Structures are given as structure tokens and as C-alpha cells.
């Protein structure tokens, strides 16, 4: 089963990692701005074609987008994710 919140969090992470706005991401995908926003907000369901387009744009395996299995990631993406997780942990401990 796919954790929809984790899926959309991975999309947001990848978009921000690239320094793109939702609008810029939607243009790169050929989506309307509201269509991509709705995907990221978990309002719109993602088709298989959309999933493939997202994976290609962000250069990550579809399996990672869906399930977050890090063994399928490139080393540089994995490193960025680990750094992001450490930052989040640090923020949580400061609360």
C-alpha cells in the first residue's frame, strides 16, 4: 500500500531540492499549475503516465516515489535525503 502523505512529501522534497516552484515544476511536466499543486497536496490522484513523468523529471525510480525504498536511489539523491532528515530531526529536538 502506498502512503499518500509520504509520496507527496517526496515530491515536495525533490521539487525544493531542485529549487523549483510548483509552477516551474508543472511547466516542466506539461501539467497545469493547479494540476501539479493538487498532486502535491494529495487532492489529485496520479496516473501511471504522471508517475513516469515525475520520476523522469526528478531522475529517481518510480519505486522510490511510491514506496521510499532508498536502495534504488542514486548516491547524490540519497545523500541529500539523509541530510534533509538530519535537519528535520535537529528541528524536532529544538522544539
pLDDT of residue 7: 92
Cβ neighbour number for residue 49 with a 10 Å cutoff? 8
pLDDT under 70: residue ranges of the chain:
1, 70-74
pLDDT of residue 78: 73
* pTM of this structure: 0.74
pLDDT of residue 1: 67
Q: Give Cα separations from 90 to 5, 11, 57, 66, 95 (angstroms).
A: 21, 22, 30, 26, 9
pLDDT of residue 26: 96
pLDDT of residue 72: 60
pLDDT of residue 11: 94
Cβ neighbour number for residue 5 with a 10 Å cutoff? 9
Cβ neighbour number for residue 29 with a 10 Å cutoff? 16
pLDDT of residue 50: 95
Amino acid at each position: 500500500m502506498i502512503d499518500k502523505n509520504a509520496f507527496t512529501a517526496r515530491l515536495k522534497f525533490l521539487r525544493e531540492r531542485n529549487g523549483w516552484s510548483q509552477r516551474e515544476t508543472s511547466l516542466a511536466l506539461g501539467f497545469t499549475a493547479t494540476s501539479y499543486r493538487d498532486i502535491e497536496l494529495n487532492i489529485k490522484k496520479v496516473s501511471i503516465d504522471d508517475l513516469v513523468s515525475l520520476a523522469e523529471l526528478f531522475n529517481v525510480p518510480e519505486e522510490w516515489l511510491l514506496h521510499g525504498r532508498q536502495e534504488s536511489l542514486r548516491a547524490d539523491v540519497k545523500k541529500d535525503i539523509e541530510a534533509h532528515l538530519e535537519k528535520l530531526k535537529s528541528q524536532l529536538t529544538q522544539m
